[in-house]
C-alpha cells in the first residue's frame, strides 16, 4: 500500500468556466490514499465542504477507518476557491484576489471528471460522497455523469441550497467579510487585515450551525470549553481565522448558485440519476432540513433516505462529540458494505 500522497496538482490548462471566463493554467489540487486496482473499480471520490480542504477528510481514512486504503483508491479533490486548486489567493492577474471569476459547482465536477478520466483512466466510481458543499458536488456528479457513478451519498446536503441557506451564505459568510474596512474590495495585502470580519463569520456560524438546545444544554462543556464565549473564540473564530477572505467569498457565491439542473427542472434532473443513492439528514440541521432532503431522495429513482436524530444538526459532520463521530463512522462504513 503506497503512503498517502501529498497535495498534487492536476494541470487543467486553459480551463473554460461556466461563467464564461477562461482560467489560464488552471489547477486542480487533490490528494489520494491507496491505489487504483487493475480493474479500476475501487475508486472513491470524496470532495470537501465549504471552508474545508482535502485534509479535513483524512480522519475517515485509514486501516480500521471507514475508508480503508488497502481496499480503496480514495481521491480527495480541492474546490476551486478552496485555496489549493485555482483560487483568488493563488491566481495571478487579471484574476487575482478580488477579481477572481465566479465558479460553479459544475466547474469543479468537470475538472474532477478530467482528473479521473485523463489522469487515472477511471470509467466508473465505486462511490462519490460528501457533506454540505461536498454533497452539492456529489449531486452534480450523479446528474452530470450518471453512467460514471455507481453509488453516491449525500450527507447533510442537497442538490442545491435552500432559500434559507442562500440567506445564510449571504448573511453569515459574505457580508461580515465584505463589510470589514480591511476587505478593500478584496485587495487586502494581508488576509489578517480582515480578521474582524472573519471572527464575525465565526459568530454567525456559532449561532446557526449547532442544533437547537446545544447552548441550553451547555454541550460545549462536554467538548472541552469553559463558557459560550470560550467556545465561540477557541472553536469558531479559530476555525475561520486562518482562511483567506476572498476564498471564502468565492466558495459562498459558488454554493449559492449550485444547481445540477442548470436552472431547469430539478425534479427532472434528479430523475436522471442512475447511481444507487443514499441521502442522510440530521434532525435539527437547519441548513439541510430533513424534510427537504427527503423530497430530494424521492425524486431519485434508486435512493434511500434516512434521518438520524440525537446528533448535533449540521454540526454533526464536524464530529465534535463522541456520538457524532460514531454516527459519521457508521454512515460512512455502511456506504461501502455491499
Please give the residue ranges that form the binding site for a second copy (CB under 8 A): 162-164, 166-168, 170-172, 175-176, 179-181, 196-197, 200, 203-204, 206-208, 212-216, 218, 228, 232, 286, 289, 291-292
- DSSP label at residue 79: P
Active-site residue, selected from the candidate residues 180, 296, 314, 324: 314
- CB of 36 or CB of 166, closer to a second copy: 166
Cβ contacts of residue 163 below 8 Å, gap of 6+? none
- Helix 133-144 to helix 105-114 angle (10° resolution) is 60
Active site residue 285: yes
Q: How far is the CB of 119 from a second copy (least distance, A)?
A: 40
- DSSP label at residue 12: E
Residues 195 and 179: their CA atoms lie apart, in Å, by: 12
- CB of 22 or CB of 171, closer to a second copy: 171
H or E segment and range at residue 13? strand 8-16
CA distances from 205 to 132, 145, 171, 249, 314 (A): 14, 33, 10, 15, 11
Q: How far is the CB of 204 from a second copy (least distance, A)?
A: 6
* Beta-carbon count within 10 A of 155 CB: 27
Q: How far is the CB of 286 from a second copy (least distance, A)?
A: 6
- CB of 18 or CB of 195, closer to a second copy: 195
Q: How far is the CB of 129 from a second copy (least distance, A)?
A: 25
Residue 187: closest CA among 246, 144, 243: 246
Active site residue 329: no
- CB of 69 or CB of 176, closer to a second copy: 176
- CB of 141 or CB of 288, closer to a second copy: 288
241 alpha carbon, distance to own chain's centre: 18
Active-site residue, selected from the candidate residues 87, 89, 132, 297: 132
Residues 182 and 244: their CA atoms lie apart, in Å, by: 13
Q: How far is the CB of 215 from a second copy (least distance, A)?
A: 4
- CB of 134 or CB of 202, closer to a second copy: 202
- CB of 9 or CB of 212, closer to a second copy: 212
Active-site residue, selected from the candidate residues 108, 285, 296, 324: 285
Q: How far is the CB of 180 from a second copy (least distance, A)?
A: 7
DSSP labels for 130-151? EETHHHHHHHHHHHHSGGGBSE
Torsion of CA 212, 216, 217, 222, to 10 degrees: 90
Residues 165 and 174: their CA atoms lie apart, in Å, by: 12
Burial category of 113 from C-beta neighbours within 10 Å (exposed 0-12, middle 13-18, buried 19 and up): middle
H or E segment and range at residue 249? helix 245-257
Q: How far is the CB of 241 from a second copy (least distance, A)?
A: 16
* Beta-carbon count within 10 A of 144 CB: 18
Active site residue 48: no
Just list the catalytic residues: 132, 285, 314
Amino acid at each position: 500500500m503506497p503512503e498517502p500522497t501529498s497535495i498534487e496538482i492536476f494541470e487543467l490548462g486553459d480551463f473554460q468556466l461556466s461563467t464564461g471566463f477562461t482560467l489560464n493554467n488552471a489547477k486542480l489540487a487533490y490528494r489520494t490514499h491507496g491505489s487504483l486496482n487493475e480493474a479500476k473499480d475501487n475508486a472513491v471520490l470524496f470532495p470537501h465542504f465549504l471552508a474545508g480542504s482535502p485534509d479535513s477528510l483524512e480522519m475517515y481514512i485509514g486501516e480500521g477507518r471507514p475508508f480503508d486504503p488497502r481496499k480503496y483508491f480514495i481521491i480527495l479533490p480541492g474546490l476551486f476557491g478552496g485555496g489549493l486548486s485555482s483560487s483568488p489567493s493563488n491566481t495571478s492577474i487579471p484574476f487575482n484576489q478580488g477579481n477572481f471569476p465566479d465558479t460553479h459547482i459544475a466547474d469543479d465536477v468537470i475538472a474532477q471528471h478530467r482528473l479521473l478520466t485523463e489522469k487515472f483512466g477511471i470509467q466508473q466510481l465505486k462511490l462519490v460522497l460528501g457533506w454540505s458543499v461536498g454533497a452539492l458536488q456529489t449531486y452534480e456528479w450523479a446528474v452530470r455523469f450518471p453512467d460514471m457513478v455507481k453509488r453516491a451519498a449525500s450527507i447533510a446536503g442537497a442538490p442545491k441550497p435552500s432559500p434559507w441557506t442562500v440567506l445564510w451564505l449571504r448573511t453569515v459568510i459574505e457580508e461580515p467579510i465584505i463589510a470589514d474596512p480591511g476587505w478593500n474590495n478584496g485587495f487586502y495585502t494581508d488576509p489578517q487585515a480582515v480578521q474582524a470580519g472573519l471572527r464575525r463569520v465565526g459568530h454567525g456560524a456559532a449561532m446557526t450551525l449547532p442544533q437547537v438546545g446545544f447552548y441550553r444544554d451547555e454541550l460545549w462543556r462536554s467538548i472541552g470549553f469553559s463558557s459560550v464565549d470560550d467556545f465561540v473564540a477557541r472553536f469558531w473564530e479559530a476555525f475561520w481565522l486562518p482562511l483567506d477572505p476572498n476564498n471564502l467569498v468565492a466558495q459562498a457565491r459558488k454554493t449559492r448558485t449550485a444547481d445540477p439542473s442548470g436552472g431547469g427542472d430539478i425534479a427532472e434532473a434528479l430523475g436522471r440519476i442512475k447511481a444507487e443513492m443514499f441521502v442522510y439528514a440530521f434532525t435539527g440541521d437547519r441548513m439541510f432540513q430533513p424534510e427537504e432532503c427527503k423530497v430530494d431522495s424521492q425524486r431519485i429513482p434508486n435512493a434511500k433516505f434516512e434521518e438520524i436524530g440525537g446528533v448535533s444538526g449540521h454540526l454533526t459532520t464536524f464530529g465534535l462529540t463522541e456520538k457524532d463521530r460514531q454516527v459519521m463512522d457508521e454512515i460512512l462504513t455502511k456506504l461501502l458494505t455491499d
